[in-house]
Structure 1
Amino acid sequence: MTKKNKVSNKKELSLEQREELLRTLKARFEKNMNRHEGLEWVKVQTKLEANTGKLWSLNEMERTGGEPDVVGHDKKKDEYIFYDCSVESPKGRRSVCYDREALESRKKHKPENNAIDMATAMGIELLTEEQYRALQELENFDKKTSSWVQTPPDIRALGGALFCDYRFGHVFVYHNGASSYYSSRGFRGSLKV
């Protein structure tokens, strides 16, 4: 019983869940080769199988509607880079304010969660503005939604937070009060494996 409790506290997937996730990721990888030209799935899978904690995080990205996919490879660190590649901001991560401070500052109509805490719990990071723009170079995302991005400390210190979307053939970066939340705004994450 003790052993079972220890396992249940860990962020691990069952063998069946791992196999299902790997099948999903492989199919997405093969369908979207434009996102990762020159990379081979077998090498990605080998890295994933050696990092069960990262697999758990990818499963969380998938479970919340992010449709994670490989968007690059850091050759120096030998790490594959995954971003959420859902067409619109992930459905399971919308209607959240920016961070815990923003959440706690709301007196009425608090959202259920915030982007920073959710990302941390999932083991991922919010995309930076630069990463968001790089993602948009691959194809166009967030044509109807928007996504919170990492906000510089000086902006956050003044109560603001940044979000991005794609409209009129361009990536736009906007600001809002960090405590704001909308049904069409979520966040996209990144993970290195």
Structure 2
Amino acid sequence: MSNGNKELTLEQREELISTLKARFEKHMNRHQDLEWDNVQTKLEANPEKLWSLNEMEATEGEPDVVGYDEKTGEYIFNDCSAESPKGRRSVCYDREALESRKKHKPENSAIDMATEMGIELLTEDQYRELQKLQSFDKKTSSWVQTPANIRKLGGAIFCDWRYDTVFVYHNGADSYYAARGFRGSLRV
């Protein structure tokens, strides 16, 4: 995570754009009808979004373009690491859950980390769409946005991919595991 400065140096921007371009070109199945030059133009016009993408990259999320919203003109980036990003694991769901733990508190929560990074946790539907591109979370799991009625009762939901199927599970929002993190989404 960053030091609070939400601007990248020119060198950092160039390095990140180069990394994103290489990933974009390597995984054309994720964005078949999109052109990199248009994505890059959008990225260069939104330095605060580049900072968030850099945070996704720094926590090993391997962000990549997974869609384009025709209505808003935004490119959609999701974490595309094979497993839940390493730099975002062992976190409970949100601040309330973190503060409710009496012992063995994790260092952070998924919602707080996502907010700090300027991204959003995937919804269950977004997670299912991501799995159509390739199989993710074969060994790990990822917190997803939890409906208010479940969260109100102390729970939270997470997903993974097993047996060629997306499974949605529940746990206490204050739980955390070394193999559970979260995947984020960012619109640029």
With the shorter chain as reference, the TM-score category is: over 0.9
Superposition pairs of residues 44-63 of structure 1, within 5 angstroms: 44-63=39-58
When the two chains are superposed, the root-mean-square deviation of aligned CA atoms in Å is 0.8
**What is the number of residues matched between the two proteins?**
186
For residues 8-50 of structure 1, what are the alpha-carbon distances to aligned partners after superposition, in whole Å with 9 as ceiling and x for unaligned? 8641000000000000000000000000011000000000000
Superposition pairs of residues 170-185 of structure 1, within 5 angstroms: 170-185=165-180
Whichever residue aligns with residue 7 of structure 2, its letter is E
Whichever residue aligns with residue 138 of structure 2, its letter is K
Cα distance in 2 for partners of 1:87, 1:110 equals 27
Superposition pairs of residues 37-186 of structure 1, within 5 angstroms: 37-186=32-181
- Match status 1:21 vs 2:16: yes
More helix by share: 1
TM-score (norm 2): 0.98
Q: CA deviation at 1:83?
A: 0.2
For residues 72-107 of structure 1, what are the alpha-carbon distances to aligned partners after superposition, in whole Å with 9 as ceiling and x for unaligned? 000111100000000000000000000000000000
Whichever residue aligns with residue 152 of structure 2, its letter is A
Q: Which runs of 5+ in 1 are unaligned?
A: 1-7
Instruction: Kindly name which structure, 1 or 2, has the bigger radius of gyration based on alpha carbons.
Output: 1
TM-score (norm 1): 0.95
Structure 1 consecutive aligned stretches of length 4 or more whose deviation exceeds 2 Å: none
Structure 1 residue matching 2:64: 3-state secondary structure? strand
Q: Which runs of 5+ in 2 are unaligned?
A: none
